[in-house]
Amino acid sequence: MFELTTTYSLWWLLPIVSISAMFSALLYFKNNKDDFPNWLRILLFSIRFIIFTTLGVFLLSPMLKSWKTEVEKPIIVVAIDNSQSMIMVGDSNSCATDNKVLISDIIEGLKDKFAVDIFAFGSEVRPSYRPDFKDKYTDFSQCILEIKNKYQYRNIGAMVVVTDGIINRGSNYIYSASGLPFPVYTIGVGDSITHADLSITRVLYNNKVFIDNIFPIEVNVMAKNRKNTDVKVSLYQDNKLISSTIKKVYSDNQLLKALFKVKAKESGLHSYRVVVNSFENEVNTINNVKVVNIDIVGDKKKVIMLYAAPSPDIAALKQVFENSEEFEVENKFIKDFKGHLKDYNLVIFYQFPYANRESFNLVKQAKNDGIPFLITLGTKTDVNYFNSLKLGVNLRAKENYILESTAILNKDFSDFIITKTIKEQIAEFPPLFVPFGQYTYSNYFKPIVYQKLGSVGTRYPLIGISEQNAYRNAFIFGEGLWKWRLMDFQRNKRHKVFDNFIMKLIRYISINKSFRKFDIQYHRRVNQTEPIEFFATFLNDNYEKVNDAEIQMIIRNANGEEFPFAFSKYGEGFKLNAGQFPQGIYSFVAKLNYNGKYFESKGDFVVDAIQLEAVNLQANFNDLRLLSSKTGGAFYTATTKDKLTNDLLNRNDIVDVQKQYLKFKELIKIPWIWFVIIFLIALEWFLRKQMGSY
């Protein structure tokens, strides 16, 4: 049933009809030039009246209102575990085929009566995805939450989950499923029998150690059903046996710990392989081996932080270094500092220079000696002394005039990688107190973060770096960093975002090297699920960034296999996403060709393995039963899948839903009305033409 409605009052129809009739009458009854018969005058009057009236009605924005009824089938969501453990018991190809046949049979049995939506879950949730069982970990809680949000207002009848119940990431999925408005039916696959097994559950080690130091590697081994047996644990470095130990098992389920103490003899990246000897007929031997990669480096770099007055910022900066394996920091009141800056690898000048020659001379000495430094400005900084240092930044400021400034990230900055979390959160950090004035800087100064004064974004730097010849320095033009660190903890329950950002800044300026025109930035340690990305910059003879060169890279694994890549342009530099690599240590050589000249950059990186799926292959059916019981569903195995189909088809509460909603359609958008108007205009013109008029 249709109903006509308009945006404006229907009383407007009276003047529209009147005006249309008046103009039509004036045209055909008051115009004596055309000698038309009366029947033709009436016909032409009627045609013109209909045209005028219809166009006038369109001005009222008329719409046809109608009720539309739709019947929505109940939706059955089929969630499939796409993790590696689904095919690790027995022959993987056979397991994959059996699982796919099981899933296909379930869908075929349900699709006639229900709308079936398919999801795969594991390391991520993928809708309409056919499983390949390659995900390296399983997060089921994420899947539940995503489906709960996606189908909040839909007619979802039930959720069917095909999984082995081996969950190793995310929160407790039984808790996540609380309050679901639909039942969850689970189908358990895999082997739930407790087999005798030896598995390395955890290896504790430091990613980075220092040469000539002795460092520990602790191995945790779980022994199941191996009472009164011996377990041999061995440690290999670069495939050479370093040490081994034998542990006695006294119970059916016992956690064994083996501690190895290793001396770091040679710098560089080294692989250490932990092996637990397998026993006869052991079902799962994948979890008997674990490889870790350790970076052996030289001594820690020494950092001195100098200040003239106490501040919570000093404590915040010092805490950044507390867990660092690269730097050791000491704080000194400027009057107590009797040492030499040359004894340190990096200096932090807090609110330097003050209104005295002593602080000015220290910064000048660091600059002249090529010692990298981080300098912060604040209420104690003497701006005139600062400008006279000629550090690449000049500030015309009123004395002691301080404003609050929040942060805007410089999207064009690419000298080192800024994490996604910093990009998302830095604009929400509390404001810093900055010296107010006009900032100017040279072409070798690069802002990382700009100032935002109130609601006005500026091009004044809040955080930046300078790079001149072989030396890099960093600048923070404000005080109040402790509030950033506190905000980080409030939002993320730890200080990782703030600490990582400051540490990246420190690492970048602390690199003591001869100046290189061709430079590559990258993460030296990633895991198997992360792509390895490279960012490159190149400077011409005028030390200007250019990106009209070609860069070719060859990545080699430990076996000497080569993988060629080419960089693409990215901003003022270059970028390469080389994708994911298997676990291991890799080296690379990048070659740049610019105007016939070749430049080379070398490096290495390590890819850590993720072996969560292989640690435990015993299917966990008990939790699946509990999940189904709490949500009103039921648990099945692959052999009883037909019962699942029958149970769903016979449920009286999974029914079609009839939905009614209002539908509005504007008359002006109905094509046939315009065809009628055009036809009437053409008919009027034709009749007038036939009678010798226009």
pLDDT, tens digit, for every residue of 410-443? 988 877 778 888 998 999 999 999 999 999 999 8
Give the pLDDT score at 615: 80
Q: Which CATH superfamily is domain 74-192+618-655 in?
A: von Willebrand factor, type A domain (3.40.50.410)
Reported pTM: 0.58
Contacts of 251 (CB under 8 A, 6+ apart): 227
H or E segment and range at residue 632: none
Q: Residue ranges of the domains in the chain?
A: 2-68+664-690, 74-192+618-655, 197-296, 301-403+430-510, 518-608
What does the pLDDT read at residue 33?
A: 65
Q: What phi and psi values does residue 497 have, to the nearest 5 degrees?
A: -65, -50
Q: What is the mean pLDDT of residues 555-566?
A: 94
Report whether 366 contacts 347 (CB < 8 A).
Answer: yes
Given a cut of 50, whether residue 592 has pLDDT beyond it is yes
Give me the residue label for tokens 């690419």.
414
> Which two three-digit tokens encode residue 667?
């008359």
- Which token pair is 239? 């495939």
Q: Nearest Cα to 298, choosing from 342, 343, 266?
A: 266
The CATH T-level fold of domain 518-608 is Immunoglobulin-like (2.60.40)
Cα 62 to the chain's mean position, in Å? 48
So what's the pLDDT on residue 489? 92
Is 395 within 8 Å of 383 (Cβ atoms)? yes
pLDDT recorded at residue 510: 85
Q: What's the pLDDT score for residue 474? A: 95
Q: What percentage of the chain carries pLDDT values higher than 70?
A: 97
* pLDDT tens digit sequence for 499-532: 999 998 998 898 754 456 788 988 888 888 889 9
pLDDT digits (tens, 9 = 90+) for 487-504: 999 988 889 899 999 998
Q: Positive or negative CA dihedral for 346, 420, 528, 536?
A: negative
Task: Please give the angle made by the CA atoms of 366, 369 and 371, to the nearest 5 degrees.
Answer: 55
Average pLDDT of the chain?
Answer: 89
Q: Is the pLDDT of residue 338 over 50?
A: yes
* Distance from C-alpha of 331 to C-alpha of 329, rounded to nearest angstrom: 7
The whole-number pLDDT of residue 439 equals 94
**pLDDT for 516:** 67
Token match 């949730």: residue? 125
Q: Are the beta carbons of 164 and 640 closer than 8 angstroms?
A: no
Pairing of strands 533-538, 518-522: antiparallel
What confidence category does residue 236 fall into, taking pLDDT thresholds of 50, 70 and 90? very high
* Cis amide linkage into residue 74, ω under 30° from 0: no
Q: What is the pLDDT of residues 623-663, one digit of tens each?
A: 999 999 999 999 999 889 889 989 998 888 888 887 777 88
Judged against a pLDDT cut of 70, whether residue 469 lies above it is answered with no
Q: Which residues pair with 118 in a beta bridge?
A: 78
> Does the fold of domain 301-403+430-510 match that of domain 74-192+618-655?
yes
CATH architecture, domain 197-296: Sandwich (2.60)
Average the pLDDT over 165-183 and give the result. Answer: 90
Q: Is 667 exposed, middle or buried (0-12, 13-18, 19+ CB in 10 A)?
A: middle
pLDDT band at 284 (very low <50, low <70, confident <90, very high): confident
For residue 426, CA distances in Å to 377, 413, 535, 694 come to: 19, 15, 22, 72
pLDDT of residue 575 exceeding 70: yes
User: Is the per-residue pLDDT at 77 higher than 90?
Assistant: yes
Name the architecture of domain 301-403+430-510: 3-Layer(aba) Sandwich (3.40)
